[in-house]
Amino acid sequence: MGKMICKLLTLLANTLVYHFITLSAHFSPSSATIPTNFLFGAASSAYQYEGAYLSDGKGLNNWDVFTHKSGKIKDNSNGDVATDHYHHYLMDQQRPFLVTNNFLDLESCKQEDVKLMANMGLNSYRFSISWARILPKGRYGGINFAGIRFYSKLIDALLLRGIQPFVTLSHFDIPQELEDRYGGWLSPQLQEDFTYYADVCFKYFGDRVKHWVTFNEPNVAVVYGYRTGQYPPGRCSSSFGNCSQGDSEKEPFIAAHNIILAHAAVVNLYRTKYKEKQGGIVGIVLHALWLEPISESPSDKVAVERAQSFFMKWFLDPIMFGEYPAEMRKILGPNLPRFSNKDLKVLHTAADFIGINHYTSFYVRDCMYSACKYGRGVSWTEGHVQESNQSCSTNDLLNDGKRVEYMAGYLDALLRTISNGADVRGYFAWSLLDNFEWLEGYTKRFGLYHVDYATLKRSPKSSVSWYKEFIAKHRKQTILTEGENRSIDM
């Protein structure tokens, strides 16, 4: 397993790891030096964290509407409040503090989310911007300057504590207005909306934000949204799920095509209009699986390439090479959209970095040309460190020794790839806080900090102390190593 993961990490330039797996091989961290500009961070997303779903001029997005439909979420919950990060990121006039007997409630002050990051030693925080908080009606309405002020203050608060903002433009959410108006990502018109939205963000935040992500896991969003119908807009064929409309054989590829072109347009926009002055970089983050053939048979080996073509290469090949994988073109035929000559002008190396959200690895068996039991539709099984609310006390949830073990193994493997020459620039743990976990609602917990959803109190788990010590140790090693190098050069 460790060997498979190392292969995956060395293939990609920038690692954004959200969930962790155990590696059996032991590695001594002292044998590798992390670059001084390496980003140790934690990550979040707007819908899962912010709450304040209709506050200060924000419009409805697709997840606001979807989660308010009965039966869509495991515990029938939603992100209306979530972790209330909108009011808890910083202690200021936006969030009333408690005063008891004329004394400021110090416990309340300790809940400032930016302070929690700083106390852990993080030097970067990955968060997404809620499109509907900036442009409640997309291009068809004005800019919501209350939303601009919120993110601007968050960015300033991070920078004040030495934490670099790493900003995602779209983490599964779009304004519901655009879904209602022309069917969201099924329409090429959304490319124009996304480019306009990115332009607004670059204009107001780009003087301080130097790392931009266009989309988070679009290879998940289009499958769950347009093939199995489990995510908004909930479209699929009847054989794939319980949907009232959709075409699972065509629509995922149409939506993906529009997302790829929207990504390329935004990268081109930044490079031609903003990069010279702002000096930032733009990339994309994909859900990443490493796949190995279950046997040495030629058919199983070919199946691995075919499976990866329909997962990561589906998006990466057009972005980096300007064309879909040959396996997709052969199998899908006319169901796979084509890129025009105009499209090709903005494709090819349309990313400054690639981020991967790596959950787990799988063995693959050929089911196209060999006898094989078929499953229902297409599914992704996620392997990750999670705590369940069921039958667990708060103390049990705070003592997350399994997470510490997984993080130690993953970071050991990551250090090995760096020592072998991989250009890895950052590591972002999913997640800073327990939060709304999409279809699982609040039944699963992935945070470094436990959140009491009744009071919104944040409490550190054991993994906070471990991560803090790990960061401090490797920063110290880097400083010492660089000092030694300077003395040798002299």
Domain span holding position 387? 30-399+423-489
pLDDT digits (tens, 9 = 90+) for 325-354: 999 999 999 999 999 999 999 998 889 999
* Domain membership flag for residue 37: yes
Query: Does residue 318 have a pLDDT over 70?
Result: yes
Q: What is the pLDDT of residue 486?
A: 32
* Domain membership flag for residue 482: yes
Q: Residue 469 catalytic?
A: no
* Domain membership flag for residue 288: yes
What stretch of H or E contains 291?
strand 281-293
The pTM of the full predicted model, rounded to 2 decimals, is 0.87
Alpha carbons 313 and 143: distance in angstroms, whole number: 35
Catalytic annotation, pick one of 50, 112, 177, 387: 387
Give 402-433 as a DSSP string.
HHHHHHHHHHHHHHHHHHTT----EEEES-SB
> Taking all residues of the chain, what is their mean pLDDT, rounded to a whole number?
85
**Preceding amide of 298 cis, omega within 30:** no
* Domain membership flag for residue 175: yes
Catalytic annotation, pick one of 50, 112, 179, 217: 217
The percent of residues above 90 in pLDDT, for the chain, comes to 74
> Which contacts qualify for 320-329: CB closer than 8 Å, 24 or more apart?
320/348, 320/349, 320/350, 320/351, 321/348, 322/347, 322/348
pLDDT digits (tens, 9 = 90+) for 175-187: 999 999 999 999 9
Alpha carbons 204 and 190: distance in angstroms, whole number: 21
Alpha carbons 224 and 408: distance in angstroms, whole number: 31
Report how far apart, in Å, the C-alpha atoms of 437 and of each of 92, 126, 441 are. 28, 17, 5
Residues 6+ apart with CB under 8 A from 327: 305, 306, 309, 310
* Domain membership flag for residue 18: no
Alpha carbons 384 and 42: distance in angstroms, whole number: 16
Mean pLDDT on 213-223: 98
DSSP code for 122: -
* Domain membership flag for residue 16: no
Q: What is the pLDDT of residue 111?
A: 53
Query: Does residue 53 have a pLDDT over 80?
Result: yes
Tally the domains of the chain. 1
* Domain membership flag for residue 109: yes
Contact, 20 vs 410, CB < 8 A?
Answer: yes
Q: For residue 421, how many other CB atoms are within 10 A of its CB?
A: 8
Q: Residue 107 catalytic?
A: no
* Domain membership flag for residue 263: yes
Tell which wins on pLDDT, 440 or 109.
Answer: 440
CATH number of the CATH domain containing 366: 3.20.20.80
